[in-house]
Structure 1
Amino acid sequence: MIRTSLAMLALTAATAAQAELTADYHRYTVGDREYEGYVATNSAITPKGTILIVHDWDGMTAYEERRAEMLAALGYTAFAIDVYGADENPQSVDENRALSGALYGDREEFRARLMGSIAEAANIPGATDAMVIMGYCFGGAAVLEAARAGAEMDGFVSFHGGLGTPEGQDYSGVTAPVMLFHGSADPVSGMGDLAALLDQLQAAGVTHGAEVFGGARHSFTVYGSNDYDLNADQGSWEGLQDFLDAQL
């Protein structure tokens, strides 16, 4: 992938003296394909846990890199994983749709890439046994796919993700809590989809939670997008920290 890395995340004055934030790209292989993720760590402290981030439908970009750096600043080892491949660099809606649609259409391949990337987390600098996986939009749907596939994690977090459950899948094998952050005005996955998913999690006995942001649309955390909602972005980030504190 061709991309420009963000400048290192500026830390607050209260934590700057104790922080040694480092970040770099991480190449790895799943099956016969090479992938490129992004790892951010704070080498000045013992990591509180490892957080995996699944990218949106436009692939690994500066957005996921920034989120990884934000998590590292909080004391976590962050690994933004890649499920498209190191040679993919989508630049248009059509290209985004083709890559994400191919994985939605081949769930076994989707799961293989997710599980391979999760396994790779053990090889990154600052890796810990305790792990949570999170994702935004397409990445949020991927997180739920990983949960249904039986990924052994300490938590699953979906931000404005696709919430539908494919035919033949269920949540019966999920043993870690699932947390959902969603907008009430999301035109992609509406409140009916959220209610249906919560019913499934309840029926399967999965510990779960949901925080709904009134009026927020689909991409409410994506700064610069037409859907960006500052209050929902900040509220969901605070909710994420509460979830991580409870699980790690």
Structure 2
Amino acid sequence: MQKILLPIATLALFSQAAPLLAYSPAGEDIDYSVNDEAFEGYFVSASEAAQATVLIVHDWDGLDDYERQRADMLADEGYDVFAVDLYGAGNRPQEVEDKQAATRSLYEDRERMRTLTLGGLAQAREQGAAEKTIIMGYCFGGAVALEIARSGEASDIAAYSSFHGGLTTPEGQAYSADTAPIFIAHGGADSSVSLDDVATLADELETAGIDYEVGIYSGAPHAFSVFGSDAYHERADQRSWATFTDWLEEVL
């Protein structure tokens, strides 16, 4: 899926009519390692004292300017933000088959998935990011965020969020009652993740007694928040982002 990148001012207004200009990141790319493997994340700090840190997990494309722009938007909201890299420095698959292979390797090795995600969180804290953390992700990254939520392996996690992400709980896993609040943004017309999956997850979270919120946006397909893509759905993007940022203010 091709991504068309918009300037930060445009993102703030969510205007598709504005011209496509060069994107200039507000933060910086960060080279780091996890178990002697090289990765490249992206860090941007809040302009003033941060409310918390947001760890962003990328979609199946790998970390690119879409996640960087979302990170910059969250920094404007008062958060330190680290966009983690789960694929490795220089590994940004372009073909569908390569993207499928990259995600499949991590779905099949969830211990590695968790290790690399938490390795990115450790790097964020090395950069001076606030200890209290929100873990969120897009598509594949949303599934990763929920994987961390179920594992309970991370400390100081204040909330989790998935935007049009995978919602299925693997066999043998479950959510515990002390899991931090979860926000799910889902497209009503998503043909990749079904409404049955949403209902099943809600039932799991309800049964576990977890504080959660699910936003379902009519007519929105899978990957509805990706600016400029064929899947982009402006109303769903605007409403889900506004709800998410308001929700963060409440849970923090």
Q: TM-score, normalised by structure 2?
A: 0.87
Map 1:30-49 onto structure 2 (within 5 A): 30-43=34-47, 45-49=48-52
Q: Which residue of 2 is the match for residue 16 of structure 1?
A: none
Kindly state the Cα deviation for residue 31 of structure 1 after the two structures are TM-superposed.
1.2
Deviations 1:186-233 (A, max 9, x none): 111110000000111111111111011011111110112221100000
Unaligned stretches of 5+ in structure 1? 1-5, 13-20
Whether 1:204 and 2:203 are equivalent positions in the alignment is no
Aligned match of 1:116 in 98, 119, 133?
119
The separation in 1 between residues aligned to 2:38 and 2:188, in whole angstroms, is: 38
Q: Which residue of 1 is the match for residue 17 of structure 2?
A: none
Q: Which residue of 1 is the match for residue 15 of structure 2?
A: none
Whether 1:50 and 2:53 are equivalent positions in the alignment is yes
Aligned match of 1:136 in 138, 142, 156?
138
Contact 2:43 2:124 in 1 (8 A): no
The separation in 2 between residues aligned to 1:67 and 1:24, in whole angstroms, is: 14
- Secondary structure class of the residue paired with 2:148: helix
- Secondary structure class of the residue paired with 2:71: helix
Map 1:56-67 onto structure 2 (within 5 A): 56-67=59-70
The separation in 2 between residues aligned to 1:205 and 1:173, in whole angstroms, is: 6
Contact 1:22 1:42 in 2 (8 A): no
Q: Which residue of 2 is the match for residue 243 of structure 1?
A: 247
Aligned-partner residue type, residue 199 of structure 1: D
Taking only the aligned residue pairs, the percentage that are identical comes to 45
Contact 2:6 2:227 in 1 (8 A): no
Contact 2:224 2:236 in 1 (8 A): yes
Q: Which residue of 1 is the match for residue 176 of structure 2?
A: 172
- Secondary structure class of the residue paired with 2:243: helix
Aligned-partner residue type, residue 9 of structure 1: I
Aligned-partner residue type, residue 52 of structure 1: L
**Which contiguous aligned blocks of 4+ residues in structure 1 show a shift greater than 6 angstroms?**
none
Kindly state the Cα deviation for residue 109 of structure 1 after the two structures are TM-superposed.
1.1
Aligned residues: 233
Map 1:1-248 onto structure 2 (within 5 A): 9-10=8-9, 22-43=26-47, 45-125=48-128, 127-150=129-152, 151-152=154-155, 153-172=157-176, 174-248=178-252
The separation in 1 between residues aligned to 2:239 and 2:64, in whole angstroms, is: 23
Contact 1:141 1:161 in 2 (8 A): yes
- Secondary structure class of the residue paired with 2:30: strand
Aligned-partner residue type, residue 181 of structure 1: A
Deviations 1:165-202 (A, max 9, x none): 11111112652101101011111111000000011111
Kindly state the Cα deviation for residue 42 of structure 1 after the two structures are TM-superposed.
3.3
Say which structure, 1 or 2, has more relative contact order (CA 8 Å, 6+ apart): 2
The separation in 1 between residues aligned to 2:131 and 2:115, in whole angstroms, is: 21
Deviations 1:117-145 (A, max 9, x none): 222221124x1121101111011111001
The separation in 1 between residues aligned to 2:78 and 2:6, in whole angstroms, is: 19
- After TM superposition, the structure 1 stretch with the greater mean CA deviation from structure 2, 172-181 or 158-167, is 172-181
